[in-house]
């Protein structure tokens, strides 16, 4: 069966339904849901029960880039800067030097045990050098792991920020395999341009995005989600167009926006969490369709050898070198070494040699697919067990909440106060999003002109408004004085 314009939506919707049912089964069985998505794609493929013929690396790469935009943006938007800041340098070192060391170790090993040239080996090592953000985010959250100290922020920061380095290495060594006479000197300027331009534009578009989201007046709340998507795609595509790293730019833009007060921020977080899950399903299904199981069988032996070396040697070696100068318990280092999950991102990167026409591209693709499959299956299923064996788990009540988790609780405060806005208040004629309210303060209802109004970020405060303010404690209530100014405190009811 060939995919056509007429049947693609029908087939896609059926596969989505099957994937959702598989996800429910995955949650009960403990097997990572990403494995089911890949397997469903393989079963639906030309050599599976579905018989769907799909062999277009360009389309698969395009779908992969679109999906990674949503996955990286969602992960960055969900990153709490206050939590990440104490472990920033650990994450940065792991996502840069760690990727380089992993790529070098795997590439050298492949060159030593196969007939690959050194550049072909380093190309394979580069493709599998980064941990997969989709795999790490989904597995950590689906298993609800409550980890001690700062382990979870380190893992999520590393997985969300190390794809750019792997992408640059993949592009560089793809070029070196095709034109080996250019030499390694070409890496340095490309690295500098990609990372510096990506960083600068990511932060710039983040600041501009905040201004646009909070200043523009749209008639419908749903259009703000569309606006954020437009900012996301523009950030990636423009950065890539001028020679920067689009993946890095989009992640930094999302991190900046996620830590600002934005219009309809709760809706944006919820929407992008759904988008990220949808894109994970679409991405893994597409890559499952692209692979031919019969072509994986010949590389099972070498694929298993490389996968074992990556899991047990290359990843631990790079982690221990990167974290050598940081104060951290050995148990934590071993756990970070184990959470070197490879998922869809390496498979997407493996399409670049295919499209470029590298001689051993199909062999590299099949090896990478097998490595990703074994990584998610072996490491993903054992995360909880390894964490318990290393005594790194916490009781569930101590689990650190992400912004997604906090959406369920951030409206539950302990004190309700009525505040009347006077003429002299600096809040008059300002939008709520512009007031700079502390995160522990929430304006629940506005009483205006004899009627109650449920406010949102774009609601403008008028003179004479009575605000019903929810706060967690008296300290939080005291903080709103600087935001609302000279207002009358009518009453306070403890919850």
pLDDT for the residue 255? 92
pLDDT digits (tens, 9 = 90+) for 59-103: 989 998 999 899 889 888 888 888 888 888 998 999 999 999 999
Q: Are residues 204 and 327 in the same domain?
A: yes
Q: Are residues 398 and 435 in the same domain?
A: no
Question: Mean pLDDT for the chain?
Answer: 81
At residue 121, does pLDDT exceed 90? yes
Q: Are residues 139 and 172 in the same domain?
A: yes
Distances (CA, A) of 155 to 139, 319, 346: 12, 11, 17
> For residue 250, which of 126, 79, 70 has the smallest C-alpha distance?
70
pLDDT for the residue 265? 82
Q: Mean pLDDT throughout 167-176?
A: 90
Q: Are residues 327 and 417 in the same domain?
A: no
Q: In the structure encoding, which two tokens stand for residue 380, read together? A: 């993903």
pLDDT digits (tens, 9 = 90+) for 26-58: 555 445 677 778 888 888 887 777 778 888 889
Question: Among 376, 403, 430, where does a domain finish?
Answer: 403
pLDDT digits (tens, 9 = 90+) for 321-377: 999 888 888 888 998 899 888 877 888 899 999 999 888 999 999 999 999 888 888
CB neighbours of 51 closer than 8 A, spacing ≥ 6?
1, 45
pLDDT digits (tens, 9 = 90+) for 153-163: 888 788 878 88
Angle at which helices 381-389 and 330-338 cross, to 10°: 170
467: CATH: 3.30.70.1450
pLDDT digits (tens, 9 = 90+) for 3-32: 666 677 787 788 888 877 766 665 554 456
Q: Are residues 161 and 182 in the same domain?
A: yes
The single-letter DSSP state of residue 419 is: E
> For residue 327, which of 156, 86, 3 has the smallest C-alpha distance?
86
Pair 39, 23: CB distance under 8 Å: no
Pair 99, 173: CB distance under 8 Å: no
Task: Give DSSP secondary structure letters for 267-308.
Answer: HHHHHHHHHHHHHHHHHHHHHHHH--HHHHGGGHHHHHHHHH
300: CATH: 1.20.1530.20
pLDDT for the residue 408? 40
At residue 177, does pLDDT exceed 60? yes
Whole-number percent of the chain with pLDDT over 70: 82
At residue 492, does pLDDT exceed 80? no
pLDDT for the residue 320? 94
> For residue 131, which of 306, 277, 324, 345 has the smallest C-alpha distance?
345
**Of 119 and 482, the one with more pLDDT:** 119
Least confident of 18-27, 272-281, 292-301, 456-465: 18-27
pLDDT for the residue 477? 60
Burial of 435 from C-beta contacts in 10 A (0-12 / 13-18 / 19+): buried
Q: Are residues 391 and 420 in the same domain?
A: no
Count how many domains the chain has.
2
Pair 158, 94: CB distance under 8 Å: yes
pLDDT for the residue 400? 47
CB neighbours of 64 closer than 8 A, spacing ≥ 6?
283, 286, 287, 344, 347, 348, 351
What is d(CA 255, CA 493) in angstroms, rounded to the nearest whole number? 36
Question: Among 403, 419, 441, where does a domain finish?
Answer: 403
pLDDT for the residue 397? 47
Q: Are residues 323 and 470 in the same domain?
A: no
Pair 453, 472: CB distance under 8 Å: no
What is d(CA 76, CA 70) in angstroms, rounded to the nearest whole number? 10
What is d(CA 374, CA 330) in angstroms, rounded to the nearest whole number? 25
3-state helix, strand, coil in the chain (%, to 5): 65, 10, 25
DSSP element (H, E) containing 447: strand 441-448
Pair 142, 27: CB distance under 8 Å: yes
pLDDT digits (tens, 9 = 90+) for 376-433: 888 877 877 888 888 887 654 444 444 444 444 444 445 677 778 887 777 788 887 7
- The pTM of the full predicted model, rounded to 2 decimals, is 0.77
Burial of 283 from C-beta contacts in 10 A (0-12 / 13-18 / 19+): buried
Q: Are residues 267 and 348 in the same domain?
A: yes
Domain-located, residue 195: yes
pLDDT for the residue 404? 44
Q: Mean pLDDT throughout 280-309?
A: 89
Q: Mean pLDDT throughout 209-213?
A: 91
Q: Give the Cα-Cα-Cα angle 220, 203, 274 (nearest 5 degrees).
A: 45
Domain-located, residue 1: no
What is d(CA 63, CA 254) in angstroms, rounded to the nearest whole number? 20
pLDDT for the residue 495? 46
Work out the number of other CB atoms within 10 angstroms of the CB of residue 189: 9
Q: Are residues 206 and 267 in the same domain?
A: yes
Q: Give the Cα-Cα-Cα angle 443, 444, 450 (nearest 5 degrees).
A: 105
Q: Are residues 162 and 219 in the same domain?
A: yes
Task: Give DSSP secondary structure letters for 8-29.
Answer: HHHHHHHHHHHHHHHHHHHHHH
DSSP element (H, E) containing 241: helix 222-241
Q: Are residues 342 and 429 in the same domain?
A: no
**Of 276 and 487, the one with more pLDDT:** 276
Range of the domain at 435: 411-494
Domain-located, residue 139: yes
Pair 260, 254: CB distance under 8 Å: no
Question: Among 368, 403, 438, where does a domain finish?
Answer: 403
pLDDT for the residue 395? 56
Work out the number of other CB atoms within 10 angstroms of the CB of residue 200: 14
Q: Are residues 397 and 416 in the same domain?
A: no
pLDDT digits (tens, 9 = 90+) for 446-478: 888 878 887 877 778 888 888 887 776 556 566
């Amino acid at each position: 069966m060939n995919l056509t314009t007429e049947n693609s939506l029908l087939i896609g919707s059926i596969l989505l339904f099957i994937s959702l049912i598989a996800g429910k089964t995955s949650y009960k069985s403990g097997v990572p849901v990403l494995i089911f998505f890949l397997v469903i794609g393989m079963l639906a493929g030309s050599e599976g029960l579905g018989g769907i013929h799909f062999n277009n690396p360009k389309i698969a790469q395009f779908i992969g880039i679109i999906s990674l935009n949503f996955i990286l943006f969602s992960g960055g938007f969900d990153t709490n800067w206050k939590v990440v800041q104490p472990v920033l340098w650990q994450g940065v070192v792991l996502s840069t030097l760690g990727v380089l060391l992993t790529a070098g170790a795997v590439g050298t090993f492949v060159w030593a045990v196969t007939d690959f040239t050194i550049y072909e080996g380093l190309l394979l090592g580069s493709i599998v050098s980064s941990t997969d953000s989709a795999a790490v985010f989904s597995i950590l959250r689906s298993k609800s792991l409550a980890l001690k100290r700062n382990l979870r922020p380190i893992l999520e920061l590393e997985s969300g920020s190390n794809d750019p380095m792997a992408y640059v290495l993949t592009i560089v060594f793809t070029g070196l395999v095709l034109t080996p006479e250019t030499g390694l000197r070409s890496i340095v300027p490309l690295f500098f341009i990609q990372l510096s331009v990506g960083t600068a534009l990511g932060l710039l578009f983040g600041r501009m995005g905040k201004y646009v989201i909070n200043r523009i007046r749209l008639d419908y709340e749903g259009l703000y989600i569309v606006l954020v998507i437009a900012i996301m795609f523009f950030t990636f595509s423009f950065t890539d167009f001028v020679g920067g790293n689009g993946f890095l730019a989009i992640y930094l833009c999302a991190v900046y926006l996620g830590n600002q007060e934005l219009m309809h921020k709760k809706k944006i977080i919820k929407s992008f969490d759904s988008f990220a899950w949808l894109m994970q399903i679409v991405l893994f299904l597409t890559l499952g369709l692209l692979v031919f199981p019969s072509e994986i069988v010949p590389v099972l032996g070498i694929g298993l050898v490389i996968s074992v070396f990556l899991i047990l040697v290359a990843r631990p070696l790079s982690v221990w070198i990167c974290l050598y100068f940081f104060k951290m318990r050995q148990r934590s280092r071993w756990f970070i070494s184990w959470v070197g999950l490879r998922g869809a991102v390496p498979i997407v990167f493996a399409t670049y040699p295919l499209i470029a026409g590298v001689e051993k591209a199909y062999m590299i693709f099949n090896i990478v697919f097998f490595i990703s499959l074994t990584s998610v299956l072996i490491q993903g299923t054992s995360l909880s067990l390894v964490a318990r064996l290393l005594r790194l788990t916490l009781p569930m009540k101590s689990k650190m909440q992400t912004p997604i988790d906090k959406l369920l609780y951030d409206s539950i405060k302990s004190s309700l106060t009525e505040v009347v806005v006077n003429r002299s208040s600096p809040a008059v004629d300002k939008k709520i999003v512009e007031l700079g309210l502390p995160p522990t303060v929430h304006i629940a209802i506005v009483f205006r002109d004899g009627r109650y109004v449920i406010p949102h970020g774009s609601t403008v405060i008028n003179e004479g408004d009575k605000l019903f303010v929810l706060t967690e404690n008296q300290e939080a209530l005291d903080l709103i004085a600087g935001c609302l100014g000279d207002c009358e405190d009518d009453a306070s009811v403890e919850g």
